[in-house]
Amino acid sequence: MKKDYILLVMSVAFCASVSAQNDTVSTGSTIEKPLINDRDRQIMEDNDCGVIPIAGRQGFALQSADGKFAFKPYMMVQTTANFNWYDDEGLDKAYNQDNVANSGFAVPYAIIGFTGRAFDRLSFNVSVNAAASGGNILQQGWIDAKVCDGLQVRTGKFKTPFTHAYLTMLGGTLLPSVPTSLTSSVIMPYTLNAVTPNIGTGFDLGVEFHGLVARQKLSYELGVWNGTGSGVNGASKTFSDDWHIPSLLYAGRLAYMPKGVMPSSQGDPNHLNDNKMLFAVSGSINVESEYESTNDRRLGLEAAWMYKRLYLAGEIYTMHVGFTDRQKIDDQFDYLGGYAQLGYFLTHNLQGAFRYDFFNRNGWDANGYLNMPALGFNYFINSCNLKLQAMYQYTGRVNHDTQLDRDNDDLGIATHKAMVLLQYSF
């Protein structure tokens, strides 16, 4: 009981001190000014939505006179035209191998959602992707309880705190697709159909503590998730037979933003006067992932700079895969990936984009890697909330020991990839 009382007093003291820092700053006179300006508050609101910028937009919204209650619906539709050309990997034409596949038109996202706040302490967000199937139909759904700016608790389905590429709001990426090094499964020399991990973690169900401290220059996220990904909305986990702890995803992220809150966008006409920077480290361990087959550890470093018309970002991330005892496999594997990208607004509405993506898909112990340069552009029609994106990506295979290794390394990845995306949001 005494320990509980001490913890309670410490929590109250922490929040009081952080709130005092967050609300005002002394200017050396009797007049004090808010430390969080309206611009940063707007960025924080956009970042919380996680789908599209919503703060300050024209549209339908309900809000109480005192501002403690708010409700705002939103929607986003993306339509794409796709062309993908795959290498035949040396297969005989008798196998009827089609070099062109996964091409044509698609609707990757048709999102309807609503976000808001209640009692000036709770915020919420629910969105449904009508273009998805199964558990992915629920794109996100969470409740966030705010004790103070430095201590908030979020529970539900939301993004896990790993990589700048995934934490960028949906609809705000520099190119229409995120780096292949995050989305493609790794290669292992075992025929275990269940073991197909990729470095990215994305949306998941869980609970996290997060907040902004040090005058909004430092943010943290720390929590636990199911570790089953966006496609599973139920509780399906157990205890680890090897480690005797819940078989969950344990993850955290620490970010330093020396110039205030960093927008979770990779270029937007509304940020052409901003100067924002971000440096972050994140890590996670997924206990008994891949249907209780592996224990996966991930570590990532990221940096981003948004300066007027310029956007620069780079990340490097690694994943260590070890098998559970029941698999009776002593081998362990390490994988490395990363990218650097550049965006620049040539005009107020036209942004050029370049990305170099690197992936050591077959593991550190095997020679060879994939290099994937990409070019594109974004055109914003702000008067009606339209965004047009186009990109081309080439997948090259470098330094493999044998032709078989070379052929295996890009299985399922298009050698030539082109995409045009039109997005409308409200």
Q: What are the structural domain ranges in the chain?
A: 1-35, 36-425
Contact 422, 79 (CB under 8 A): yes
Q: Who contacts 419 (Cβ-Cβ below 8 Å, separation ≥6)?
A: 80, 81, 82, 83, 176, 177, 389, 390, 391
Max CA-CA distance within the chain? 84
At 15 the pLDDT is 47
Report d(CA 150, CA 13) in Å as an integer: 12
Instruction: Choose among 382, 421, 381: nearest CA to 173.
Output: 421
CA angle 82, 87, 88 (to 5 degrees): 125
At 385 the pLDDT is 86
At 9 the pLDDT is 41
At 153 the pLDDT is 97
At 145 the pLDDT is 94
At 47 the pLDDT is 58
Sign of CA dihedral 212, 217, 218, 221: positive
DSSP 185: P
| CA atoms lying within 13 Å on the CB side of residue 268 | 23
At 203 the pLDDT is 94
At 37 the pLDDT is 57
Report d(CA 422, CA 322) in Å as an integer: 41
Contact 286, 249 (CB under 8 A): yes
Report the top-level CATH class of 36-425: mainly beta
Q: What is the pLDDT of residues 190-224, one digit of tens each?
A: 766 567 889 999 999 999 999 999 888 999 999 99
CB under 8 A, 24+ apart: contacts of 336-340: 336/360, 336/364, 337/179, 337/181, 337/182, 337/199, 338/181, 338/314, 339/165, 339/179, 339/181, 339/314, 339/315, 340/313, 340/314
Q: What is the pLDDT of residues 172-193, one digit of tens each?
A: 899 999 999 999 999 887 766 5
List, for the chain, all residue ranges whose pLDDT scores fall below the cut of 70. 1-60, 90, 92-96, 191-194
At 50 the pLDDT is 57
